[in-house]
Chain A
Amino acid sequence: MNMKKILAAGMLAALCLSGCKLVKTEEAGKEAAANGPGGDQERIATLVASTYDAKLVPKLTETAVDISTLLPAIKANLDDAGKAYGLRVGGAGGGWNFSVKGTAPVVDADLVSKAAVAQLDFDGDGKADATLQLGPVVKGSAIRDTSAIYDFSTFRDQIEYAKLGRALNDKAVSGLAVPESGLKGKTVTFVGAVSIRSAGEVPLITPVSLEVGR
């Protein structure tokens, strides 16, 4: 075993020595510029336009589990809940993604922040059980990751994939109608997506549809 290592090192050394005149090439980066922000932006816009209404929203709506079913299941065992209702993207951890729906009263809302949110109470104790993101700043990439529509392997790199996540978030919250009179005390019905990484966290839901009741 050691001998093999030594031999390998020897061969390596021989190669290193023979390759002494290393020429620095102005590689990489340059080529990527051709795929730069402009090109990406256009490709992503086209992809979002062709998939958001046609595939993503129907898929999320169709697979959505009622959050009052999901929350207790997550508390009991996240992995079991994930296997029953969720989707794990990438296989290397990063939690479970769920499409969710529900109707609940808003116990608190912050519509002033750039990352506006509504706090929802699902079990009737008057305390928030989940947070609904209303934008324009949206955290995470739950919408992108909750359907199997967008496979990371088919994108050039993380940059392009991240741009998709951002574009989908922007698209989702830009379509939400939040009444000027505010949300606190009203009942909302939504369909959305959420990523859960630990059973203890408060779900941060990104909605794709929102109806505000009285």
Chain B
Amino acid sequence: MKITRRLLVSVCVLTLSGVVPGFAMAADTIAIITPSHDNPFFKAEADGAAAKAKELGYDTMVLVHDDDANKQNELFDSAIAAGVKAIILDNAGADASVAAVQKAKDKGIPSFLIDREITTTGVAVSQIVSNNYQGAQLGAEEFVKLMGEKGNYAELVGKESDTNAGIRSQGYHDVIDQYAELKSVAKQTANWSQTEAYTVMESILQAHPDIKGVISGNDTMAMGAYAALEAAGRKDVIVVGFDGSNDVRDSIKNGGIKATVLQPAYSQAQLAVEQADKFIKTGSTGLEEKQLMDCVLINADNAAKLETFALSN
């Protein structure tokens, strides 16, 4: 249904574009390509990048690849054809995205990656990612504390093709596995999805009713898991997420989900645009390609200061 609607919109836009045969270039354009804005994290990225681009005098072309590498490839073709000066990308797969970024590079269009890495260096100009390992350790340390260092727990893992799913799981385990009385009874993927997490959590609950905590690879899955727990009358189960979304912030404030880890999505996207601007103007960012940004633990103490993936002082 959603697809139908999107296609319909596309067709309308296509018709419109037919009415406008030619145009003059007013300003340089930066393409901003991310996963679906259904997840507020990606919307915050796109908004942050667009705001900075506008501030620096660029037009923007905001696109979503819906975590589909084929679609991403087509979006790159569009961006290249439109003659954009740079591409800001949160990619659709660490391995699968290399070719698309390379294709743009071959056409002289630099890419600046945010949030997710690709597995090859020297193709993108910048790869600015959250320090997911550091963030996961923060989340795990809080989880261990909340669990009282013991009990059965489940883990919800993100999409396998995304490096961030693996790195967060590893960060969690490097901390949690040090505590022999914390037992992992289930480790399942819910592909970053809220609805999938709801279903997965329901079945985990049936198999392991004695569960005491759930640590999740992102906030949307944490929201899905908590909804399932709530529906089953199990609000006692400790849930910890990752991302720092407003949804989870509100849940923390209401005593639902206990903690999350903020990724500075908004400022990260802005930083990528600043580096793109510098690269366009000078041919260099003056920085290393791969850059890590620290994450921050969010719990009841500081949740009130969180707004749209940024923490106020």
Contact = CB atoms under 8 A, between A and B. Distances in A.
Q: Is B truly associated with A?
A: yes
Interface of A: 1, 3-17, 19, 22-23, 25, 27-29, 31-32, 89-95, 114, 136-137, 139-141, 151-159, 161-163, 165-166, 197
A162 B133 CA distance: 7
Contacts of B174: 162, 166
A19 B74 contact: yes
Given A5-B59, A90-B288, A14 B167 contact: no
A50 B25 CA distance: 55
Contact of A153 (B17, B27, B96, B290): B290
Given A16-B74, A158-B163, A159-B170, A92 B291 contact: yes
Interface stretch (B8-16, B37-45, B238-246): B8-16
A10 B93 contact: no
Given A6-B20, A27-B96, A13 B288 contact: no
A6 B13 contact: yes
A4 B26 contact: yes
B77 A157 contact: no
Interface residues of B, number: 67
Nearest to B63: A12
B166 A159 contact: yes
Q: Which residue, of A7, A89, A114, A153, has the highest number of chain B Cβ atoms within 10 A?
A: A7
B294 A94 contact: yes
A10 B294 contact: no
Contacts of A16: 7, 10, 71, 74
A6 B17 contact: yes
Interface string B132-165: 1110010001000000000000000000110110
Interface string B258-274: 00000000001001000
Interface string B270-299: 010000000000000011111111100000
7 contacts: A4-B26, A32-B119, A93-B293, A157-B163, A158-B129, A159-B133, A162-B174
Given A5-B61, A92-B291, A10 B17 contact: yes
A154 B289 CA distance: 10
Interface string B36-73: 00000000000000000000000111010000111100
Contacts of A114: 178-179
A31 B95 contact: yes
A3 B23 contact: yes
Given A32-B94, A32-B95, A141-B133, 7 more contacts: A6-B20, A7-B23, A9-B10, A31-B95, A91-B286, A92-B271, A166-B174
B25 A4 contact: yes
A94 B13 contact: no
A197 B294 contact: yes
Nearest to A137: B178
B1 interface: no
Contacts of B60: 5
Given A31-B95, A156-B119, A158-B163, A1 B27 contact: yes
Nearest to A114: B178
B289 to A, nearest CB: 5
B95 A13 contact: no
A141 to B, nearest CB: 7
Interface string B64-100: 0000111100110111011000000000011110000
B17 A7 contact: yes
B220 interface: no
B61 A15 contact: no
B18 interface: yes
Contacts of B93: 27-28
Contact of A28 (B59, B74, B95): B95
B117 interface: yes
B245 to A, nearest CB: 21
Nearest to B26: A1
A157 B13 contact: no
A71 B117 CA distance: 36
B34 interface: no
Contact of A154 (B11, B82, B119, B121): B121
Nearest to A90: B291
A15 B290 contact: no
